């Protein structure tokens, strides 16, 4: 016989895998849904379990490669701070000696080094060994990139210039681009959004399967700790489930935060956040025009960048300070803290260039709750919120996800018919499980899936394609079976 043997009654807990635990499927040529043992035949839970198994299985098989690439590139990204500190030590670090020179002189030196650049911002380091970053816009750079000059604050020597993406130096920018879009531009962003859109589905599906497993002390231990005495497929499933359970909270966080700056879902999330009053605020730079930059047509001089920084420090700003000069007449200096580690310091002030007075202050403590959560979540996703500990946790999550995907595919491989001739893959969970779900459960589930699919299109569209293909294959097979009868 080529039929796979029935599975033992073993806990199934594979959040975020490439292939889930499955149940016996076929009798002859006709697929039949099977209620999982111990789920309670005739109950809603028993009717949902086969459907969850099928969704978890197919989502893992299809989305698994995308998740694997995201996990591998994310693992590489976790080491970005250390890579930067080694590669760019000459530009980033200086030897303290006496007092730092005025920022205005440092900016002037950078402008001489980049004569064709447009000054965008100046970043004053937090410590005495940090160089000053002067960032310029420049023609010929890739979209989103700028040119940053690194200046020794003690003698205004320009240590070098590097192309930067936001605050990222070239190595981290390259790794970030690899993780986000595989260096394929906007089209490539669909890969990471697809992974983020389905990661939470895999995690919650695995947790639901775990929650539906009969609870006694021995089984609970098996769910949380790999079964060291198991062999073959049971051992693989045990490791897959236990690691998935421990990693589930972190993976849900990565999925949610990854979606916030994705291309399609990110726009939808932003609209919802704005509607709920949770958008990130910013200080207003507008006030009656009295000058712009060095000197206006009437001869009115501004106080300069050093006075603007001093005013910001008097207002309580500390740490790494990013200064944005006035862009045009009637706009102010903006000085903002850029400390993303815990505790987060992102206060900002607007400073009138003519008087040096702070015209508006915005404290991070006054941000809407949703804006704070977004900031914390994104910083944690990038490994910034808790420093090295954050990086280690992200690396462990990436390694765990890679292992679960590989274990999932191995379980699928081990389910293949071993006595059949030729190549054969493991069998999928039974088709038609949705027919066993009560209407009072199925109807709202379909509505919820439609709503989520609308806001997360790279979840909704693949799900719709899968349903169409699955139904079509089912109809074709039923007709073939009827004809053969």
Confirm if 121 and 321 have CB atoms less than 8 A apart. no
- Residues 36, 41: Cα–Cα separation, whole Å: 8
- Residue 209 is assigned to a structural domain of this protein: yes
**What per-residue confidence (pLDDT) applies to 25?**
39
pLDDT, tens digit, for every residue of 403-421? 999 999 998 888 776 555 4
- Residues 207, 247: Cα–Cα separation, whole Å: 11
pLDDT band at 118 (very low <50, low <70, confident <90, very high): very high
- Residue 263 is assigned to a structural domain of this protein: yes
First-to-last C-alpha distance (Å) of the chain = 21
Give me the mean pLDDT over the 179-193 stretch: 94
| Strand-strand pairing, 132-137 and 118-124 | antiparallel
**Residue 193 burial by CB count (10 A; 0-12/13-18/19+): exposed, middle or buried?**
buried
Residues 57 and 192 in one domain: yes
- Residue 268 is assigned to a structural domain of this protein: yes
- Residue 406 is assigned to a structural domain of this protein: yes
- Residue 355 is assigned to a structural domain of this protein: yes
Residue 22 has pLDDT above 80, yes or no: no
Confirm if 288 and 352 have CB atoms less than 8 A apart. no
Total number of domains in the chain: 3
Residues 395 and 361 in one domain: no
Peptide bond before 240: cis, by omega within 30 degrees of 0? no
Per DSSP (E only), the strands in 257-357 are 321-324, 333-337, 348-351
Residues 325 and 246 in one domain: no
Q: Give the number of C-alpha atoms closer than 13 A to the C-alpha of residue 246, restricted to the C-beta side.
A: 19
Residues 203 and 266 in one domain: yes
Q: What is the dihedral of CA 71, 72, 77, 80, to 10 degrees?
A: 150
Instruction: Write the DSSP symbol of residue 145.
Output: E
Residues 313 and 270 in one domain: no
**What per-residue confidence (pLDDT) applies to 425?**
55
Residues 189 and 245 in one domain: yes
Average pLDDT over all residues of the chain: 84
**What per-residue confidence (pLDDT) applies to 37?**
40
Residues 393 and 362 in one domain: no
**Residue 256 burial by CB count (10 A; 0-12/13-18/19+): exposed, middle or buried?**
middle
pLDDT band at 134 (very low <50, low <70, confident <90, very high): very high
Residues 305 and 454 in one domain: no
Distance of CA 91 to the CA centre of its chain: 29
Q: What is the dihedral of CA 46, 233, 399, 205, to 10 degrees?
A: -10
Give me the mean pLDDT over the 87-101 stretch: 96
Residue 165 has pLDDT above 70, yes or no: yes
**What per-residue confidence (pLDDT) applies to 439?**
82
pLDDT, tens digit, for every residue of 368-382? 999 999 999 999 999
Q: Write down the pTM of the prediction.
A: 0.83
Residue 359 has pLDDT above 80, yes or no: yes
pLDDT, tens digit, for every residue of 264-317? 999 999 998 999 999 999 999 887 654 444 444 334 578 999 999 999 999 999
- Residues 22, 240: Cα–Cα separation, whole Å: 14
Which residues, including other chains, have CB under 8 Å from residue 344's CB and lie 6 or more apart?
364, 375, 376, 379, 385
- Residues 159, 149: Cα–Cα separation, whole Å: 7
361: helix, strand or coil: strand
Range of the domain at 141: 97-153
Residues 62 and 204 in one domain: yes
Residues 203 and 270 in one domain: yes
Residues 142 and 219 in one domain: no
- Residue 33 is assigned to a structural domain of this protein: no
**What per-residue confidence (pLDDT) applies to 33?**
42
- Residue 327 is assigned to a structural domain of this protein: yes
Residues 268 and 409 in one domain: yes
- Residues 245, 14: Cα–Cα separation, whole Å: 7
**Residues paired with 336 in a beta bridge:** 322, 348
Which residues, including other chains, have CB under 8 Å from residue 369's CB and lie 6 or more apart?
278
pLDDT band at 469 (very low <50, low <70, confident <90, very high): confident
- Residues 355, 39: Cα–Cα separation, whole Å: 73
């Amino acid at each position: 016989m080529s039929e796979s043997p029935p599975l033992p009654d073993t806990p199934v807990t594979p959040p975020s895998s490439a292939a889930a635990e499955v149940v016996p499927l076929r009798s002859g040529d006709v697929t039949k849904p099977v209620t999982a043992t111990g789920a309670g035949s005739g109950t809603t839970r028993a009717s949902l379990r086969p459907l969850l198994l099928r969704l978890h299985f197919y989502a893992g098989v299809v989305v698994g490669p995308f998740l694997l690439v995201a996990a591998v590139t994310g693992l590489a990204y976790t080491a970005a701070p250390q890579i930067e500190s080694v590669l760019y030590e000459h530009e980033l670090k200086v030897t303290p000696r006496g007092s730092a020179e005025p920022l205005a002189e440092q900016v002037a030196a950078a402008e001489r080094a980049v004569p064709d650049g447009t000054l965008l911002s100046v970043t004053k380091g937090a410590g005495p060994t940090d160089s000053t970053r002067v960032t310029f816009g420049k023609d010929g750079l890739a979209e989103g990139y700028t040119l940053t000059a690194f200046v020794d604050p003690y003698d205004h020597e320009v240590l070098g210039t590097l192309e930067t993406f936001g605050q990222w130096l070239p190595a981290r920018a390259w790794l970030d681009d690899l993780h986000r879009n595989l260096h394929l531009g906007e089209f490539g962003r669909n890969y990471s959004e697809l992974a983020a859109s389905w990661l939470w589905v895999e995690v919650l599906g695995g947790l639901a399967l775990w929650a539906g497993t009969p609870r006694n002390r021995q089984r609970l231990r098996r769910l949380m700790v790999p079964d060291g005495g198991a062999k073959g497929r049971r051992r693989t499933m045990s490791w897959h489930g236990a690691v998935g359970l421990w990693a589930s909270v972190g993976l849900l966080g990565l999925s949610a935060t990854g979606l916030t700056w994705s291309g399609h879902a990110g726009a939808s999330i932003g609209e919802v956040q704005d509607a709920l009053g949770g958008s990130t605020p910013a200080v207003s730079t507008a006030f009656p025009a009295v000058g712009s930059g060095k000197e206006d047509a009437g001869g009115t001089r501004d106080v300069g960048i050093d006075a603007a920084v001093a005013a910001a420090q008097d207002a309580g700003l500390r740490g790494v300070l990013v200064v944005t000069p006035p862009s045009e007449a009637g706009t102010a200096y903006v000085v903002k803290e850029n400390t993303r580690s815990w505790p987060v310091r992102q206060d900002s002030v607007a400073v009138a260039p003519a008087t040096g007075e702070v015209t508006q202050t915005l404290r991070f403590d006054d941000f809407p709750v949703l804006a704070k959560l977004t900031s914390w979540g994104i910083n944690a996703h990038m490994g910034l919120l808790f420093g090295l500990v954050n990086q280690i946790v992200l690396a462990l999550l990436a390694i765990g996800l890679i292992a679960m995907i590989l274990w999932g595919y191995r379980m699928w491989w081990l389910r293949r018919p071993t006595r059949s001739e030729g190549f054969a893959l493991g069998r999928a969970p039974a088709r038609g499980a949705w027919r066993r779900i009560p209407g009072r459960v199925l109807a709202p589930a379909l509505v919820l899936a439609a709503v989520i699919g609308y806001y997360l299109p790279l979840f909704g569209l693949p799900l719709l394609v899968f349903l169409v293909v699955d139904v079509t294959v089912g109809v074709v097979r039923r007709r073939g079976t009827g004809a053969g009868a």
